[in-house]
Structure formats: structure tokens, C-alpha cells
Chain A
Amino acid sequence: MTLLWLRLAVILYGVAALAVLPAALYNRPRWRHIAMPAAFLGALFHFVSIAETLYAAHRALPVDTHETLSMLGLLLVVGFLILAARYRTVSFGIFLLPIAVLLAIVPAFHPGHEEIAYPLVRTGWILLHIALLLAAYAAMFLSLIASMLYLIQERRLKEKRTESQRGWLPPLETLDQIGVNSLRFGLPCMTAGLLIGSVLALQTIGPAFFADPKVLLSIAMWIAYILMIYIRSNSGLRGRRAVYLSSFVFLVMVAVWAANSLSAVHRFKTP
């Protein structure tokens, strides 16, 4: 049943990803009426599927890679729905919905069977640690997309490509707000997530945890994140440079994610 919900969610995300193309690129509002309900229902089924999985496994958090990626996909769709409601734009769906499909399709059709033996997985704190960090990842990704869209819109306006100006991109200032607000939302999530993780690690593993490459990279990521917000807020960094900076921090985040395989203590699978 759980898989059925997830598969339904993937199909609905697929429908929304296709419908959002004419809605955004060709300004056909009727397609929006397909894309938005499909994305909303997809997110609902996705949530039900994740909740059922975790409940059935007697744990409150995703423990394997597929589950975690799937949850990140759900957060991205939720981000898309929030942006669509708040800023009346479906442009972000062009990128977010296909990514959500990719993130959810593997667990939907090839579910993992990894188990984890840590007693920690049954505590609420670790759930908060994971949820907050996933939210920070999603926020960073939204900010990166906003910066890229800003760059595209800026070029179109500068090159005076008037035929395409009717189209799909939100105004520059809106894109800038989305980028900065996403980062501002992500920072407390990341800070709290890392703090909770550190306290739990100290209790269970001890100070040795802080010599782990994953942990060191995470601290570097946090510093890069703060620096990026500082630079963007104080110098009004926009356009090309903002994309470079966001891309750099995003790459650091991907590296932190990938560092699970290097870590001796922070892994999805039982070491």
C-alpha cells in the first residue's frame, strides 16, 4: 500500500512536471489548473507513503538513502507549492518537479531494504536533526534556482528579447526575494540541525566525532552558508556573481552529502 501511494505520487509529479511546461513557458493558464492540483495531490500521497513507511518500521525518520532522497523530493515539491501560492509563479516547477520525480522514482519502483541498528533512530531529536538539514538543503536548492532564473531574466531584459518577455519568469526583484528569503529560512534550519546532531554525537560517540571528514565538511558548509547570506545581504549581490556563489555553496552541500561514504560514524547503513 505504501508503495502504491508513492507510485501514485510519482505519477502525479510527472503529470505536474509536464503540465507546468505550457503553463509557465507558453503562459497557458489552463495548464496551471492541472499542474497545481497534481503537485498538491502528489505531495499528499508522498507524505502518506513516507508516514506509513516510517510507522510500519516503528521509527520516525528515514534511514536509508532512498528514503532520505524521497523526503527531500517531497520538501522540494512543498517549496514549489509555497512559492506558487506566495508569488503566483509556477516557473520553479520546471526544475523542481522533474527533480522530485527523479528523487522519488527509485524508492517507488526499487525500494531499498537497508536497516539501521542505532537506538537513536527511535528518538525525536534525530528526526529533528534530519528534517532540519533536509529543509536547509531544499532551501539552498530553491535559492540556487532563483539565482539562475534571475540570471536568465536579466539577460532577456538586457538583450531586449521582447517576444519572450511576456513569458514565464517572475520579475527580477521577486526572484531576488525568493533567493534571499530561501537562504534566510535555510540558515536557522541548518544551524539547529547541525547543533542537534553535534550534541547527539557527543553523547553517543564522544569528541572523536568532530575529527570525522563528514563533520568537518558540515562545519565548512555552515560557514560558507553564513558567508553567502552576509555577502548577498550586505553588498546586494545579484545576477552572475550570485549564481557563482550559490553554486559554490551548493557544491559544498553536495560534497557534505556525499561524504557519508567517507564517514566512519555518520552513515545511512549500519557501519
Chain B
Amino acid sequence: MSDLTRDSVQDARVEEAVRSTPQTSKLLLLGVSHTTAPIAVRERLAIPGDRLADATRTLAHQPGIREALILSTCNRVEILTVQDGVNEENAELRAGKRQAPALSVIQFLHEYLQIRTTDIEPHVYEYHERDAIRHLFRVASSLDSMVVGEPQILGQVKQSWTVGREVGAVKTMLDPLLQRAFSVAKKVRTETQIGNTTVSVASVAAELARKIFGSLSGKTVLLVGAGKMTDLTARHLIQQGATTLLVANRTESKAQAIADALRTPSITTGVIPLEQLHEQAHRADIVITSTGAGQVFTPESARAVLQRRKNRPVFFIDIAVPRDVAPEVNKVDGCFVYDIDDLQQVAMQNKAVRNREAEAAESIVTREVARYSDRISQAPVTESIKELLLSAEDVRQHEMARITHQLAQQPLTPEQLAAVDRLTKSLTGKLLHPQIAALREMAAERESDE
């Protein structure tokens, strides 16, 4: 389905949603995230996947709540609700404090998770109507994530949406809104490069390996030395498709332990005695070193490795300080050496790229929020205009039938009848034009007031 068609379908859904939802319904988004709450608070509010359906169902059954969605990830817990509208004067329970709809959601959290409301309140943010739409679009597009542009959040929002639909908590108002959020997120991904760069050292190393080898499927990784970063990088490379892992370490038992820890049914692992490193290194496409012993690989040993590999490229990822791979190795044809500073440099530059792209993404979100809000505000007017036109057409048809009947003795010719038909249509249109324009104007004014 093209974007245009999808948008039209969604617009129709929005109009349908507005028609079937009382005009007093209020959209409210309330939550905590990594920007407002420490992990100690977030972990108490987190709702595990297996309880999400129950929590959503319970929330949707709270008085005044028509629709509900809960998004719970390690970085945020957010609740999106459509609530019955309340009189604005009564809604303000306490001057300068939260309104009733927000309090009812906080009350739900208090009761469901057994947390004191005073523990939550200082960290909670709330957005209403247009601001809520904007926040949802930003979250789905990963603009509010800890690592801007990370792709997981969209899947997590989709998961919450699925659960919400399954338990009947996401209905005519939230469903089109969430679907629009997904299409906005897709637009952000395709029209900007926000998700095209990697920002952690380990993922940068994997990305560079892909630049050299394309697919890492079937590639062999050699770990020389052990360490947390080595392990993390190796895991990233395995995730990208590397299938064989060799480990060389001063202590062979430790090498064996690392190999065992990383072995899976699809990953073959092996141990190389450190003294045989140079004889065996040609088996590896990617070498990760972290011994800190200095000069494990020199240009001469690298050339020997390449010769044995028939000049197939080798990627050295040198995480050690002092460096294990002599910088001159990078000058050997077919050898690519990146040390920890190089990797960090790439990661920082990629972060800068993401931030730059985030600005473009924000513009897309702003545009889409305006468009969606306009649709919502215009939908009732469109409906009224439709009704007005239909009613006028009924009157016109009736009058045409009457005049045709009156002139039954001296019937008009088909040409005359067509001329009268055109005349009445034109008159109806011109007479209704000021009313239609006024309706549209009123809707626009109401929108700008809000």
C-alpha cells in the first residue's frame, strides 16, 4: 500500500474515530522516563511483559477510562488513555496541581503496583491532546530514546498496541492514533538517516567489519586476550553473522572458558595456544586484541598472515592499551587496523550525525502532529458539511420532482430539464457556500484557540 493510500485510509479511520467518540473525550499521556526518573523509580513502575495484558485490561476498566495503552520498557513507563471529558471547573481538583484524569491513572499505578503516589508524582510528566500526540510520535520515532534513533522502541510500542487491541483496550480513538504513530516512525526512518549509524564502540566495530566483508556470515573471529569489551565486540560480530570464534590467551583454561561461554549450536569455537598465534592467525578474518602486551602484530607478521590468506583482507580491532597491533600494520595492503581511540572517534561522529538528523526528524513529527490534529478537528466539520449538502440535495430533488409533476401536461424537453437541473444545482451550491465557509472558519478558529 502506498504512503498516500495508507494516509487516506488512516484519515478515514480518524474521521470514523471522531464520529464514534464523544466530543468530550480527552487524550492523556502520563509517564516516567530516563529523563525524569532514576532507575530505582523506573524499575518499580516497570510492568513485565507477562503482566502487560492484565495491567492494560485493569486500567481500561477504571471509571472514566474509555481506552488505554501501557508502554513499559527499561527506559520508560508510559500510559496513554482516552478518558471521558469532565467539566473543566470540576476537573481542577487542586489549583496548580494535576487534573482528575491524571490522578486516576496515578491512582491505578498506586493500586496495581503497590507504590505510594508520593513516590511517583515528582517524576511523572503528563501531556494532553495535541502534546500527547506529539510525545507519542516522538517516542515511536525514537526521538525521546536514551540512544536517539535506536530501533527497538518502535517494536515495543507495537507490542503494547497488540496487547491493547487483544484485551479490547485500544479501540476507535487510540487505534488510528497508534497506526499513524507507526507510519510517522517509518517516515522518520526512511527520510532521515537517524537510524543509519551506530553509536557504541562494539557496534561501530561490527559496522566497520561489514564495510570490509559485507555479510559476516561464515566469517571467523579471533580473540587475543580477554576482557569485557572484547567479549561484547565478539558478541556483536556473532550477532551480525560470524560463525567461528577462536580464542587465544596466556591462560589456556581461561581461553577455553571464554570459548565455552560464547559457543552456541550455530557458533563453532576453538582455542589457539598463544605461542601458535602467528601460525594460526591467518584463519581469522577479524582479529580482536586486548592483551596490552604491546606489538603482538607487527607489519612483518601481518604480511605473513595476509600471504597465507592469499591477500584476503584482515580487520584488526585493537582494544588494548598499550596497543597490541603496531599502527604501521594499517599501511599493509589488505590490513585494516582500528584501535580504541579510532572506534570511539567513529562512535562520537556517528552520535553527532544522529543529533543532526534528529532535527530533521523533529520537523517531520511537527508536521505530522499538525496534520493529525487538523484531521481530528476537521472531522466533525466535514461530517456537518456532508449532512448540509445532503439535506440541500434532498430539497432540490424534491422541488425538481414537484415541478416536473406540475408540468406534466406540457412537459419540458430533455434539454430544458437538464438546464433547470443545472440551474438548481448551481443555486444550491452558491447559497450554501457562505455557510460551508463559515463552518470551516469556525473549526480553524477553534483549533487555533486550543
Contact = CB atoms under 8 A, between A and B. Distances in A.
B119 to A, nearest CB: 44
Interface residues of A, number: 24
A236 interface: yes
A236 B311 contact: yes
Q: Which of A30, A165, A170 has the most CB of B within 10 A?
A: A165
B191 A171 contact: no
B121 interface: no
B338 A160 contact: yes
A55 B349 CA distance: 58
Nearest to A163: B349
B contact residues, range: 20 to 34
B349 A172 contact: no
B350 A162 contact: yes
A165 B198 CA distance: 11
Interface in B333-347: 333-334, 336, 338, 342, 345-346
Given A30-B190, A235-B311, A238-B311, A166 B353 contact: yes
Nearest to A170: B214
B25 interface: no
Interface string B345-385: 11001100100000000000000000000000000000000
Contact of A153 (B196, B211, B338, B350): B211
Q: Which of B214, B330, B353 has the most CB of A within 10 A?
A: B214
B333 A173 contact: no
A157 B336 contact: yes
B436 interface: no
Interface string B188-209: 0011010011000000000010
Contact of B196 (A27, A162, A235): A27
B213 A235 contact: no
A2 B331 CA distance: 54
Contacts of A123: none
Contacts of B338: 160
B336 A162 contact: no
Contacts of A237: 311
Interface string A210-248: 000000000000000000000000111111110000000
B51 interface: no
A174 B214 CA distance: 6
Given A160-B345, A162-B345, A171-B214, A236 B310 contact: yes
A158 interface: yes
Contacts of B208: 157, 165
Contacts, number: 63
B433 interface: no
A29 interface: yes
B346 A165 contact: yes
Contacts of B336: 157-158
A163 B196 CA distance: 12
A235 B310 contact: yes
Contacts of A153: 211
A171 B333 contact: no
Which secondary structure dominates chain A's binding surface?
A: helix
Contacts of A239: 333-334
A160 B214 contact: no
Interface string A67-80: 00000000000000
A157 B193 contact: no
A162 B333 contact: no
Nearest to A233: B310
A160 B211 contact: no
A29 B211 contact: no
Contacts of A27: 193, 196
Q: Which of B191, B197, B313 has the most CB of A within 10 A?
A: B313
A246 to B, nearest CB: 16
A173 B190 contact: no
A128 B78 CA distance: 68
A237 B306 CA distance: 11
Contacts of A162: 345-346, 349-350
B346 A172 contact: no
B191 A30 contact: yes
Interface in A154-197: 157-158, 160, 162-163, 165-166, 170-174
Given A29-B190, A162-B349, A166-B193, A238 B333 contact: yes
B387 to A, nearest CB: 40
Q: Which of A157, A160, A163 has the most CB of B within 10 A?
A: A160
Contacts of A158: 330-331, 336
B278 interface: no
Nearest to B312: A236
B422 interface: no
A173 B310 contact: no
B213 A171 contact: yes
B334 A157 contact: no
Interface in A16-33: 27, 29-30
B210 interface: yes
B115 to A, nearest CB: 44
Interface in B159-193: 190-191, 193
B120 interface: no
B41 interface: no
A157 B211 contact: yes
21 contacts: A27-B196, A29-B190, A157-B211, A160-B342, A160-B345, A160-B346, A162-B346, A165-B346, A166-B193, A170-B214, A171-B210, A171-B212, A171-B214, A172-B211, A172-B212, A173-B313, A234-B310, A236-B310, A237-B311, A238-B313, A240-B333
In the complex, the 4 A-B pairs of residues with the closest C-beta atoms, listed nearest first: A236-B311, A236-B310, A171-B214, A162-B346
Given A158-B336, A237-B311, 15 more contacts: A27-B193, A157-B208, A160-B345, A163-B349, A163-B353, A165-B346, A166-B197, A172-B211, A173-B212, A173-B214, A173-B313, A234-B310, A236-B311, A238-B313, A241-B333
Interface of B: 190-191, 193, 196-197, 208, 210-214, 309-313, 330-331, 333-334, 336, 338, 342, 345-346, 349-350, 353
